[in-house]
């Protein structure tokens, strides 16, 4: 097998308390405000992390929590949308998303890492799509939390 592509790494800094940000990664209603149209989360290691996106493209990611440390991190298995389903989801999800929170002078650095990429041109296309997807969603997270905190 080809050597895989580097993980996606995206960071935003949010000038709000860590618990507020961490909560927005685990609370279904808050996830629905910035990430997806419907969420169902069982906030424990191994618990469901189910996200429904109306798109385009419309898809569901039925993952499970792989990392969970209060006010530090959240990780989950990821199921990709069409046209990447056959590449990334079969026979089982091949990639994972990991979000780490770390205090910095400007607030809290929120770093998203999406890893598990293969090395073919098809994987490059999937990785590119996901990079733009996560970049947009992390900016939505920041905007949502600032609106919630300051109106």
Residue 123 forms part of a structural domain: yes
The pTM assigned to this predicted structure is 0.95
The per-residue pLDDT for 130 is 98
Over residues 6-59, the pLDDT tens digits come to 999 999 999 999 999 999 999 999 999 999 999 999 999 999 999 999 989 999
The per-residue pLDDT for 37 is 98
Residue 134 forms part of a structural domain: yes
CATH number at residue 95: 3.30.530.20
Over residues 45-101, the pLDDT tens digits come to 999 999 999 989 999 999 999 999 999 999 999 999 999 999 999 988 899 999 999
CB 7 within 8 A of CB 14: no
Residue 82 forms part of a structural domain: yes
The domain in which residue 134 lies consists of 8-24+65-150
The per-residue pLDDT for 2 is 53
The 3-class SS string of 53-83 reads ECCCCCEEEEEEEEEEECCCEEEEEECCCCC
End-to-end CA gap in the chain = 50
Q: Which own/partner pairs from 54-58 qualify as long-range (CB within 8 Å, at least 24 positions apart)?
A: 55/81, 57/81, 57/82, 57/83
Residue 117 forms part of a structural domain: yes
- The pLDDT-based confidence of 1 (bands split at 50, 70, 90) is very low
Average pLDDT (98-120) is: 97
The per-residue pLDDT for 3 is 81
As given in the structure block, the two tokens for residue 46 are 């191994």
Residue 38 forms part of a structural domain: no
Domain count, the chain: 1
Residue 124 forms part of a structural domain: yes
Residue 42 forms part of a structural domain: no
Residue 37 forms part of a structural domain: no
């Amino acid at each position: 097998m080809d050597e895989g592509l580097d993980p996606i790494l995206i960071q935003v800094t949010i000038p709000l308390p860590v618990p507020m940000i961490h909560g927005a990664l685990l609370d279904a209603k808050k996830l629905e405000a910035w990430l997806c149209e419907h969420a169902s989360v069982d906030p424990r290691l191994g618990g469901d992390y189910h996200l429904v996106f109306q798109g385009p493209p419309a898809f569901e990611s039925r993952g499970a929590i792989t990392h969970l440390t209060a006010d530090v991190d959240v990780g989950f298995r990821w199921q990709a949308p069409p046209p990447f389903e056959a590449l990334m989801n079969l026979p089982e999800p091949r990639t994972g998303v990991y979000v780490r929170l770390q205090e910095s002078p400007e607030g809290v650095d929120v770093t998203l890492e999406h890893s598990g990429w293969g090395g073919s041109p098809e994987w490059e296309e999937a990785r590119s799509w996901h990079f733009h997807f996560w970049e947009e969603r992390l900016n939505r997270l920041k905007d949502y939390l600032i609106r919630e905190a300051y109106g």
